[in-house]
Amino acid sequence: MTFPVEDRQGFSVVMLSGEIDLNNSPDARKVILNSLKKMKHVMVDLSNVDYIDSSGVASLVEGFQYARSNELEFGLIGVSEAAMSVLRLARLDQVFRIYGSLDERLANGG
Amino acid sequence: MDCSSQLVTVGFCSRASNLRLLRSVMRDAAGLAGLDAGQTDAMVLAVNEACMNIIQHAYGMDPDGRIDVSLWQEPGALVIRIRDYAPPVDAGQVRSRDLDDIRPGGLGVHLINSLMDECGFVEPPSGGGNLLQMKMFARKQGENDDISG
């Protein structure tokens, strides 16, 4: 499965969608890390994620760690309630930078 | 088999591609059990996490292991038993990581323990393997079961 990436206003926006589980989280991990390895700031759009399990969350954590180690920005935008509930359980809602949208991130200035 | 309390038993091979179908069956079973949306999400995620652990750790991603998931109702509780046929796991080694230690992986056990009222290994029947039992107790009206917190 391929997750699309769009370059917008200095960010690579990775658009995850559907159910993110052990079957496709390696694809999510790959697309997130590939964008970061191009030394691009990354926002992961979770607005169309209906379900995410701990393997999907691990892909996000890996992106977060890679970005932090390489002085890149990594954040989440439009987090669906389904995804947010799992992030809260893992207490990662306090770790990730989370914005309503890319516009909100741009307005906040980082 | 006590068909008055049995909801469903589903057997499948230890392939990640089967998890989506498993979740679909669990959602339907939750409806039969009368769980609300929050309880359903919690149960489905917990079962998914437990089966994912079996696929990754007990079977080491061997796609040909067998997993059986059974759901039934006891007075005041939904009971879920998940059986695998992998070498016995050391229950003492199955634990959540420190949530302040931010790293990929290690969240599944924490999620299961957060979502279910009881969870632990019980003696497997003959044939070996591992048998995990989880329980979700019935809530009084107004109690919050929603995983969204």
Identify the CATH number of the domain in which residue B73 sits. 3.30.565.10
Total Cβ atoms within 10 A of residue B60: 11
pLDDT digits (tens, 9 = 90+) for B50-104: 999 999 999 999 999 999 999 999 999 999 999 999 999 887 777 777 777 777 7
Residues A21-67 have pLDDT tens digits of: 999 999 999 999 999 999 999 999 999 999 999 999 999 999 999 99
How many distinct structural domains can be found in chain B? 1
Task: Tell me the C-alpha to C-alpha distance, in Å, between residue B131 and each of B55, B100, B109, B116.
Answer: 14, 30, 15, 16
Domain coverage including residue B75: 6-137
For the stretch B20-33, what's the b/e string if a residue is b when 16 or more beta carbons lie within 10 angstroms of its beta carbon? bebbebbeebbeeb
The verdict on residue B104 lying in a domain is: yes
Whether residue B146 is contained in a domain is answered as no
Domain spans, chain A: 5-103
The more confident residue out of B117 and B141 is: B117
B85-98 pLDDT, tens digit per residue, is 999 988 777 777 77
Q: Could you tell me the pLDDT band of residue B140, with boundaries at 50, 70 and 90?
A: low
**What local confidence, expressed as pLDDT, does residue B125 receive?**
78
Chain A positions contacting chain B at CB under 8 Å are: 19, 21-23, 51, 53-55, 57-59, 61-62, 64-65, 81-82, 84-86, 88-92, 95
Facing residue for A90 by CB, picked from B19, B55, B107: B107
ipTM for the complex shown: 0.92
Q: Which of A37-51, B19-33, B115-129 has the lowest mean pLDDT?
A: B115-129
Task: Verify whether the Cβ–Cβ distance A54 to B147 is below 8 Å.
Answer: no
Does CATH place domain A5-103 in 3.40.50.360? no
Q: Is B143 contained in some domain?
A: no
